Structures are given as structure tokens and as C-alpha cells.
Structure 1
Amino acid sequence: MNARPDVFGSVHLGYVVIETSRFADWRRFGTDAIGMHHDDLSRDLMRFRLDDHECRFLLRRGPAEDVVAVGWHLDDHTTFEQIEARVRAHGVPVVQGSAEEAKQRGVERLLRFPGPKGISQEIYTTPVLATAPLTMLASGWVTGGSGMGHVAITSAKPALMRGYFHTVFDARLTDYIDETISGVKLKIRFLRVDGRHHSIAIAAVRGLPIDPVRTRVQHLNVQAASLDDLARSYQRVHELGFDMALSVGQHTNDKELSYYARTPSGFEWEVGWNPVVVDESTWEPGTHQGISIWGHTPVGQTIVDKLDQFRLGTRSLLHPEKTVPALSGAGVPDH
């Protein structure tokens, strides 16, 4: 029996769909604080651009205050057909996005199927390139062949989530981080689908089946083109009065310099600079102790915040996490 084709390297994080009712706050956050290009499509739809793609973040009006879909840019139609066939072969429904949905996302066509934690996964091959020049405070963002950044998700079932992304996209394990925050032990798994150190991070409370985060994602990441861009956006976040979650610091595993701001929807937004690029010929997964070499100090966290986080964790025991068992196998065991 022939081994299935490996799609690793042909998959890249392409766009993110956010549902929110806080359009005015998001416009200020994305444009004036972070420094992205902004386009209004209608009263209920707006987009942010990072580069020549028409859409990198689509915001639609609704109550979720959360990420509701992630779009994956595939290099070619062969990869598209292989992933579609994988999903269908496991008995998971695949739906073609409407022409209007494709237009909103700035792609020619897309397919949608269920993903972990209720986040729809969407695939496409051809992004629509914008004709209008970028108008933004940042000098630029690092996208291209490594995608547009990464998505970090907390999970009570990390092996199943890792199994899902391995089954669908041939995601590879880059490394682990063991961290203790406020007495809670976390294990974070970092998965890559291309040369970027990770496009997906999965954080789990060690030994406890709880999820301490209200939102489906813990944070989104974009990569600044320069250290100056990072510093200036950090200053703007402060000056405009947006909450800072973690101050500037440097990560242990990918060496990225970054900070974390809190978005109007409540999840965090990481602006990073200069992470390592994985060399597939030599890279071996390892485990790092702690997320930071230095910095990343919590900003403004009170005992009330910690109690709220504890309450969220215990409440998650009452609401089982959504998984897609058919695409997760038995999960991928940790080594």
C-alpha cells in the first residue's frame, strides 16, 4: 500500500475570521495601535491587511467575541484535492463556501470543514491581490511563504488536537515548553506546517482536563518587519489605553521578541519580531523550561483576574471541549 502524499510545506496560515460587536474598538486597535491597513466592507464587515492579500483578518458583526474560522492557503490544486480527499475519507462533512463568503475573505473559492473547539477550518489556493496600496502605520509585516503568523489555542485534549492537525495538514512537532503560571503547570506544543517555527500552539494544563481561557483562541500572532515597528506599536497600544497582557520579552524556543496586547474581544494579540526559521534537515524537537528568556511580565494582573481564570477553568469541566474525533485518530502521543 502506497504511503499518502505529504502536504507539509504546501500549507500556510492565510487568514482569520473574527466575530465581534465591538467594531469601533477593533478599528482603533487594529489600525491605530497595531498599525495594520483597514478596509470597511459594510456596516457588518471589515478587514485588516498586512500585505498585498486583500484580506488577512475578516471581522464580521456577531456576539461571539472570538475567532470563528481559520483559513489555510495551499500552494496548488493538487494539495487542495489531497486535503479535501482526506477529510471526506474520514466521513467529515465538507462544505463549499459561497461566492459571497469567498469575496469577503479575498479568495477565489474555499472549502470549509469542522475544526477543534468549534473553529471552522477553511482551505483555498488562490488569494485575491489588492490593487489599492497599503495605508498603515507599520512599515510592513513578514508573511510570504511562511504564512501570516500563528494561532495559539488552549485545550483540555491536546493529543487529539495535535492529531487533528497532523491528520489534515501533516503538521510537525517543533518543540515543547513546560511553564508554571500562578501555580498551574502548563505544557505547550508547537506545530509547524511550513518553515515558520510554528503556525499552531496548543497549551494544556498538565494533569487536569480544564481549559482556563474563555475564548476559543488564547492569542493570535503577527510578525513585525522591524524592531522599530515592534517598539512603536507597543508604545501606541499603551498611549491609546488598550490593555497590555505581557510586556516585551523574548521566547525560549523560537527566540522571537514580542509583546501581548489584549484585544477588544478579550483574547490576546502578539506582535513579534525575528523568530528563528526551522531548518528541516537538522531540526530536532526539544523541551524548554519557561516561555521566556527574559521579560513577558504580566501587566496589571490582580488577584481578581486570577480567581476569574480559576473559575473559567472549573467551569470548562461542565462543557466538554468540541473535538473532531474522526480526524484526530487516537491523538498523537507525546515523545
Structure 2
Amino acid sequence: MTTETVFGHVRTGYAVVTTRDMDNWKRFGAEAIGLHMDVHSPELVTFRVDDWARRVIVRKGETEDYAALGLEVTSRAALDEILQRLRGRGVAITEQAGGEAAIRGVPQFWSFSGPKRQQIELFETAETTPAPLKMKFAGFLTGEAGLCHVAITSKAPDEMLAFWQEIFDARLSDRIEEKISGINLLITFLRMNERHHSIAVARTKGLKLDPIPSRIQHMAFQVSELEDLSRAYERCRKMGYKIAMSVGQHTNDREISFYVYTPSGFEFEIGWNPLIVDEESWDPNAVHQGISVWGHKPVDHTWADDLRQFRTGVASFFRHEYRPF
């Protein structure tokens, strides 16, 4: 590396999801959300949003979950530095090529188990395609900021944050204090490039609980047109997919968005026009009260959902959360 940091050399690249209900994911991804879909077999479906051949990979499996987060590393020097940091902390790394890499649309990748046993996969280059997109959107903003951000709940938040900051040089953007479904949360937002946050880590205040059973709480894509957001919301409502939170605007990055439950249980956020961090003037010490300036009201959330989250949180109190180092 010509510099001491890998900040700016890492961005989200793809997501791998496992599901027992492939037909529902096809309907959700292609018709409700409106992504370009390629069906490869009864057990593999992929979605595109730009010229990358594969951005969301959905595989038939025994679990409903977010199975892996693919991170693009834009230089070999940065990749070597990250791998060296992981090995120096005793993290086991597996290099893979062949069939598994082809499924992801990359020539090879390096995988390891991150916090909460989230599989993280590092790669340098991805397959692209000139084939036209068949989407219900004008477009998505990816590029230098990467594909998306993910939000993760943790009952070991200090270790979780240290992982992203020590391995990927993630920088603190800001924090939010909020009460959701009766649970007091502190959410910390980390950026790995110009995107306001690539990773958000939420913790309960008081008892260390994790009320979310999936490895992530949500993933978020950014659309290029506001009208695309409103139309996606209408499609999801019309098709009967549960809306976690209605359209609203966030306090910290000022993004307008809504949240819908995926067939695998975690949430999918569609957002528009968040702030881009100015590295020279940004204040990372800001703590915002509440996640929203307006909107983001629960729509299809019920007392049964609250009960499930309560039970999951109580169960997590007795369960060790995996930490990679």
C-alpha cells in the first residue's frame, strides 16, 4: 500500500441469500422490488441493478437468511493488507475459485467468518455484462460507493465496531438514539468510502440483547429517481409484502426511504438521495435523536411481531455471539 489505510478501497459488491421459497423470492425481487432477474436453475436466481452480472444471489437452502456479504477491494495492495490483518488476528481464511466463485460472478474470492458468523467474502474484480437491464427502475446508484449498506444488530457492539474499524479502517459517521418496538437502541454508522455508511451497528441500551434472528437487520439499495421509490412502495403494498416502515426521511444522512420485509425475514430498504460525506467538514461526533425527521411509521408491524422479537431477544441473552478475534 502507498498509504497506511485501506479506507476508500473497499465497497459492498454483492449479497448472497438463502431461502426455502425460491418462487417467493423471484416474485419479490423481480415484480415487487423491480430488479432485473436471471434464472439459472431451480436452486439459483440472481438479480442485477447495473452492468455487474450478479449483485444479489439467491440460493435454495434450509435457512432463511442473509448468507454472505461480498466486499470488493479495489487494489491488490489493499486486499493483501486486509488479509494480513485478518491472519495476524488468527482469523481463518479460505480462498475459493471455480464453481462457487462463478455463482457469485467473480474469478475468485477469500472468505472468512465475521461477527455473528456472517460470512464475508473479499474479491478484486467482478464479471460485467453488456446485456440490457429489464427493471422497473430508471437506475440504481452504485459505482464508487458500492452496492448498498447493511445494518446489523449486536449484543457485542464494541467488538463488532472494532472489527470493521481495525480490519477495514471504517470511519465513524455519526450515531442515532431511537426507540423501536419498545426497545431503546443506539445505532452507530460506519463508512468505508464516500457513502454515508456501508455498515450500521445497532445495540440495545441496558441489557445486551439481540432481538433480530437474521444475520443482518436490513440491506439498502439507492435508486436514482424519487418516483422509483414511490412506485416500488406501491408495488410492495399491492402485492401484499409486509411494510416494516413507511416512506420517511432519516435524521442523519437525510435519505428518503421505506422498508419492506423480504421473504427471508430481514428487511430491504429502498432509499433516495442521501448525503455524501465531506471528509474535511463532517462532524463524526453527532448523535441524532430518532431515526426520522418525518415518516418511517410502522405499517404492518403487529403485537405478534413484538412478541417474536421479545422472545428472540431473551433467548439471545443466554447465547454467545461469535467474535472473529
Which bin holds the TM-score, normalised by the shorter protein? over 0.9
- 2:195 aligned partner: 196
Check conservation: 2:155, 2:204, Cα contact below 8 A: yes
Check conservation: 1:68, 1:118, Cα contact below 8 A: no
Kindly provide the amino acid, as one letter, of the partner of residue 301 in structure 1. Answer: H
Q: Decide which moves more: 315-324 or 240-249.
A: 315-324
- Structure 2: any 5+ residue segments left out of the alignment? none
Output the TM-score relative to the length of structure 2.
0.97
CA separation in 2, counterparts of 1:64 and 1:169? 29
Check conservation: 2:97, 2:107, Cα contact below 8 A: no
Assess, with a 3 A threshold, how the Cα gap between structure 1 residues 141 and 4 changes in structure 2: closer, same or farther.
Answer: closer
Check conservation: 1:18, 1:69, Cα contact below 8 A: yes
- 1:10 aligned partner: 9
- 1:306 aligned partner: 306
Alignment of 1:1-335 (within 5 A): 5-285=4-284, 286-325=286-325
Percent identity over the alignment is 45
Q: Which secondary structure does the structure 1 equivalent of 2:108 belong to?
A: coil
Cα deviations by residue, 1:91-110 (Å, 9 ceiling, x for unpaired):
21110113111111111211
Kindly provide the amino acid, as one letter, of the partner of residue 283 in structure 1. Answer: W
CA separation in 1, counterparts of 2:181 and 2:232? 28
Cα deviations by residue, 1:121-179 (Å, 9 ceiling, x for unpaired):
11111111013211111111010000011000100011100000111110011000001
Q: Number of residues paired by the alignment?
A: 324
CA separation in 2, counterparts of 1:127 and 1:3? 24
Deviation at 1:77, TM superposition (A): 1.1
CA separation in 2, counterparts of 1:133 and 1:300? 35
Q: Decide which moves more: 176-185 or 141-150.
A: 176-185
Deviation at 1:317, TM superposition (A): 1.5
Check conservation: 2:223, 2:271, Cα contact below 8 A: yes
Q: Which secondary structure does the structure 2 equivalent of 1:117 belong to?
A: helix
CA separation in 2, counterparts of 1:118 and 1:273? 30
Q: Which secondary structure does the structure 2 equivalent of 1:97 belong to?
A: strand
Kindly provide the amino acid, as one letter, of the partner of residue 324 in structure 2. Answer: V
- Superposition CA RMSD, Å: 1.4
CA separation in 2, counterparts of 1:241 and 1:183? 26
Q: Which secondary structure does the structure 1 equivalent of 2:121 belong to?
A: strand
Output the TM-score relative to the length of structure 1.
0.94
- Structure 1: any 5+ residue segments left out of the alignment? 326-335
CA separation in 2, counterparts of 1:183 and 1:47? 36
Cα deviations by residue, 1:62-104 (Å, 9 ceiling, x for unpaired):
1221111101111111111111111112221110113111111
Check conservation: 2:17, 2:65, Cα contact below 8 A: yes
Check conservation: 1:19, 1:62, Cα contact below 8 A: yes
